[in-house]
């Protein structure tokens, strides 16, 4: 077998090429081709460093730079001829560059596919985090718009899916803004952790060549706020570490959990039994049998895709947990779950935002549900506390009143004064004023509560933050 017929990456050591089955089994180009842009960026940064230290002539660098720009256009226009036999994105692009200039044979000096893919992925994670942060912002703005529109519309708040206390639509939706704000911060942290350059680590122990790692890091944008290069301190850790994969997938999982809980609320609110929210036709579906149906498929799919995203995190953890340092081929399987989580979460964020932007709340239904006097039973207990009764005794007394009202077949404020005083002597005067919703909200003007002033303040906070 001639040299030209051998496997181009590592064939010098072997007398035969891999079995055809092994070539198919071992390829990764079918999924890691999406790293092509980052691989080309990394190669250009590496080439500029090689030229800087004299391992490439100025002419050779210009030829490589020109070839990389041409390949970039081919990739962007989806006109690149991917070959499975070349195993991965890196060798596909390297061989394509070799066809454009012989100088490409010098490009891999001081570089391994180990630090090459580590660099590609760090560039990928920075962009992926920005993409998801943009998606989170879009959903936050949709929620904020609804929260502002229905800031003071009362609805029941639930614990154990039982009516608990009155809140407002604004208060409820702002709760999701808080959780999404934390998701935004998590992806910012992942992007910050990704902002460290592994290039120059080689396979595990760097290179004897006169590489300038700081120069390469700056060329690729791995810098701190002062423009100083950020490089990995240990070559073995740089190529073996998969913390970023786990951090990113974990952040995706946490964000998807928040979306799933939002979806569950919307699905319940959209049911006939609740009737709180009306979803647009554009984000719902019908039934092939029952013509009256209007199903909240958009949010059901969000809820379902959450399981998929959680599974991707579990996939990564199980794959990585028993691997010795440094690189093992198992790690080829680290990219599909990451790519899938990015794609699925991006879609979920966009669909949730699109659906909510066109949704509206049924004010009549919401007010009717919030008018249940039992929602203010806790307020009555607080009234008794202010009258001088210890809370535990007040709680017991109100519980007895609820039981008595059920026995009498009346609502709580419809109990007679005689019945009320028979349960608790502190129930004198204007205790029924407790059941005024406007009063109930006006007394909840401390931070974190659903009072009108607090809701308005928090809406203003998020408006300013999102605008910035």
Give per-residue pLDDT as tens, 158-177: 999 999 999 999 999 999 99
Q: Which two tokens stand for residue 8?
A: 């181009």
Q: What is the CA radius of gyration of the chain?
A: 31
Tell me if 137 sits within 8 A of 131, measured CB to CB: no
DSSP letter, residue 445? -
Partners of residue 229 on adjacent β-strands: 223
Q: Which of 2, 15, 160, 468 is catalytic?
A: 160
Q: Could you please report the per-residue DSSP string of 102-166?
A: GGGGGTTTT--HHHHHHHHHHHHHHHHHHHHHHHHHHHHHHHHHHHHHTTT-EEEEEETTEEEEE
Going by C-alpha positions, the residue among 361, 366, 400, 398 that lies closest to residue 382 is 398
Q: Which two tokens stand for residue 256?
A: 């998807």
Q: Which two tokens stand for residue 47?
A: 């080439």
Q: Which two tokens stand for residue 372?
A: 């249940």
Distance CA 31, CA 17 (A): 23
Q: Where in the chain is the domain with CATH 1.10.275.10?
A: 19-109
Which pLDDT value is given to residue 12? 64
Which pLDDT value is given to residue 295? 95
Q: Where in the chain is the domain with CATH 1.20.200.10?
A: 115-367
Q: Where in the chain is the domain with CATH 1.10.40.30?
A: 372-435
Tell me if 375 sits within 8 A of 164, measured CB to CB: yes
Q: Tell me if the pTM is above 0.85.
A: yes
CA distances from 368 to 362, 375, 435, 452 (A): 10, 12, 14, 19
Going by C-alpha positions, the residue among 205, 213, 225 that lies closest to residue 48 is 213
Mean pLDDT for 451-459 is 98
Which pLDDT value is given to residue 276? 98
Q: Which of 66, 287, 360, 442 is catalytic?
A: 287
Over pLDDT 70: what percentage of the chain? Answer: 97
User: pLDDT band at residue 47, thresholds of 50, 70 and 90?
Assistant: very high
Whether cis (ω within 30° of 0) applies to the bond prior to 326 is yes
- Out of 19-23, 77-81, 247-251, 343-347, which region has the weakest mean confidence (pLDDT)? 19-23
Which pLDDT value is given to residue 21? 81
Q: What is the pLDDT of residues 84-101, one digit of tens each?
A: 989 999 999 999 999 999
Which pLDDT value is given to residue 340? 98
Q: For the chain, give the longest Cα–Cα distance.
A: 106
Task: Indicate the fold that domain 19-109 takes in CATH.
Answer: Fumarase C; Chain B, domain 1 (1.10.275)
Strands 162-168, 277-278: pairing is: unpaired
Tell me if 296 sits within 8 A of 332, measured CB to CB: no
Distance CA 253, CA 268 (A): 22
Which pLDDT value is given to residue 355? 98
How many Cβ atoms are within 10 Å of 96's Cβ, its own excluded? 21
DSSP letter, residue 19? P
Q: Let me know if 160 is a catalytic residue.
A: yes
Tell me if 165 sits within 8 A of 154, measured CB to CB: no
Distance CA 377, CA 415 (A): 13
DSSP letter, residue 270? H
Which pLDDT value is given to residue 10? 54
Over pLDDT 90: what percentage of the chain? Answer: 93
- Out of 227-231, 275-279, 328-332, 404-408, which region has the weakest mean confidence (pLDDT)? 328-332
Q: Is 284 exposed, middle or buried (0-12, 13-18, 19+ CB in 10 A)?
A: middle
3-state secondary structure 178-217: HHHHHHHHHHHHHHHHHCCECCCCCCCCCCCCCCCHHHHH
CATH architecture, domain 115-367:
Up-down Bundle (1.20)
Q: Is 223 exposed, middle or buried (0-12, 13-18, 19+ CB in 10 A)?
A: middle
Tell me if 200 sits within 8 A of 166, measured CB to CB: no
Which pLDDT value is given to residue 15? 66
Q: H-helix or E-strand containing 235?
A: helix 235-240
Q: Let me know if 287 is a catalytic residue.
A: yes
Task: Indicate the fold that domain 372-435 takes in CATH.
Answer: Ribonucleotide Reductase Protein R1; domain 1 (1.10.40)
Mean pLDDT for 249-276 is 98
Distance CA 394, CA 384 (A): 6
Classified as helix, coil or strand, 294 is coil
Average pLDDT taken over every residue of the chain: 95
């Amino acid at each position: 077998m001639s040299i030209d017929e051998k496997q181009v990456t590592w064939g010098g050591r072997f007398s035969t090429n891999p079995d055809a089955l092994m070539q198919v089994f071992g390829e990764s180009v079918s999924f890691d081709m999406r790293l092509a842009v980052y691989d080309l960026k990394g190669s250009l940064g590496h080439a500029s460093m090689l030229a800087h230290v004299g391992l490439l002539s100025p002419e050779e660098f210009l030829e490589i730079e020109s070839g990389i720009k041409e390949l970039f256009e081919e990739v962007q226009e989806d006109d690149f001829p991917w070959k499975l036999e070349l195993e991965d994105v890196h060798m596909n692009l390297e061989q394509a560059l070799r066809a454009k200039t012989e100088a490409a044979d010098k490009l891999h000096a001081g570089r391994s596919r180990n630090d090459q893919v580590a660099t590609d992925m760090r560039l990928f994670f920075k962009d992926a985090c920005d993409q998801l942060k943009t998606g989170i912002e879009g959903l936050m703005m949709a929620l904020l718009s609804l929260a502002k529109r229905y800031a003071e519309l009362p609805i029941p708040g639930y614990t154990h899916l039982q009516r608990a206390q009155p809140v407002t639509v604004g208060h409820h939706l702002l709760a999701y803004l808080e959780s999404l704000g934390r998701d935004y911060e998590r992806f910012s942290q992942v992007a910050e952790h990704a902002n460290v350059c592994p290039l120059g680590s080689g396979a595990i122990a760097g290179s004897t060549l006169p590489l300038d790692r700081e120069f390469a890091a700056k060329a690729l944008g791995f810098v701190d706020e002062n423009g100083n290069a950020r490089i990995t301190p240990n070559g073995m850790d740089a190529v073996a570490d998969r913390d970023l994969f786990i951090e990113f997938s974990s952040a995706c999982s946490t964000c998807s959990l928040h979306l799933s809980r939002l979806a569950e609320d919307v699905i319940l609110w959209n049911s006939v039994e609740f009737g709180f929210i009306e979803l647009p036709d554009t984000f719902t579906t019908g039934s092939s049998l029952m013509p009256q149906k209007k199903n909240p498929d958009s949010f059901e799919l969000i809820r379902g895709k959450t399981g998929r995203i959680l599974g991707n995190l579990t996939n990564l953890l199980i794959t990585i947990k028993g691997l010795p340092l440094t690189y093992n081929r198992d790690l080829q399987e680290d990219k599909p779950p990451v790519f899938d989580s990015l794609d699925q979460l991006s879609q979920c964020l966009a669909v949730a935002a699109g659906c909510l932007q066109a949704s509206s709340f049924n004010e009549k239904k919401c007010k009717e549900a919030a008018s249940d006097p039992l929602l203010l039973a806790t307020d009555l207990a607080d009234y008794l506390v202010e009258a001088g009764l210890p809370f535990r005794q007040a709680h017991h007394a109100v519980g007895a009143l609820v039981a008595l009202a059920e026995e009498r077949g009346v609502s709580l404020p419809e109990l007679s004064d005689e019945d009320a005083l028979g349960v608790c002597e502190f129930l004198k005067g204007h205790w029924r004023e407790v059941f005024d919703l406007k009063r109930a909200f006006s007394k909840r003007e401390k931070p974190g509560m659903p009072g009108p002033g607090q809701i308005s303040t928090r809406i203003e906070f998020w408006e300013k933050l999102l605008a910035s």
